[in-house]
Amino acid sequence: MDVSSVGAVLLDMDGTLVDSDAAVERAWRVWAAEYGVDPEAVLAIAHGSPADRTVRRLLPGLDDAAVAAAADWQLALQYDDLSDVTATRGAPALLETLARLGLPWAVVTSADSRLAKARLGAAGIDAPVLVTVEDVTVGKPDPQGYLRAAELLDVPPARCLVVEDADVGLRAGRAAGAMTAALKGLDGDLRLDDLGQLAELLAAAGPRP
């Protein structure tokens, strides 16, 4: 993939920009025990998806109010669990490179605003544009979040690079018409070992016109 055509970078948060996998797993395990759901079944589908979507898949008999309550509780379990939340490997280098090149960037996450700001703060990251699950009517894999971020940055989706570590997010990026970069061995237009590799590729391509 030719990264010289990238006009903006749209980053997922959990597992991509912020290393919060342990905190996410702890919260879902507690939630699963309280709701009588197999925790391994939960963890197999929860990563990258909005909490309400995961709850609906696990507990299809719940009505809308019960789904909302269960999803809210799952998020509440995560708000104060920040002890081991840090920036992912290569994230500081990538953000420094984006600033130096003048490339706009945004965070698009399935977390709500409170959780996103808490985790980004714990990782020492100040996102210029943040799109959370509260800013869309449908979460990933729907493209709405990434389309909203592209709009806020005033960059056509086709010139945006979506960076994700979950299949559900990559599907959202493709549906938005963006280029995709995949972590953790997943398939995208670009496959990355870490964000530092993306920083090197963008730096080698040079400043954008």
Q: How far apart are CA 118 and CA 26, in angstroms?
A: 17
DSSP bridge pairs for 161: 9, 179
DSSP bridge pairs for 87: 18
Q: Which of 129, 128, 132, 127 is nearest to 110 (CA)?
A: 132
Per annotation, catalytic residue among 14, 81, 142, 165 = 14
> What is the residue whose two structure tokens read 């703060």?
121
Does residue 12 carry a catalytic annotation?
yes
- Cα dihedral 158, 162, 167, 172, rounded to 10, equals -50
Does residue 189 carry a catalytic annotation?
no
Q: Residue 171: what residue type?
A: R
3-state SS assignment for residue 50: coil
* H/E element, 206: none
Based on the number of CB atoms within 10 Å of its own CB, is 63 exposed (0-12), middle (13-18) or buried (19 or more)? exposed
Per annotation, catalytic residue among 2, 12, 64, 112 = 12
* Residues recognised as catalytic: 12, 14
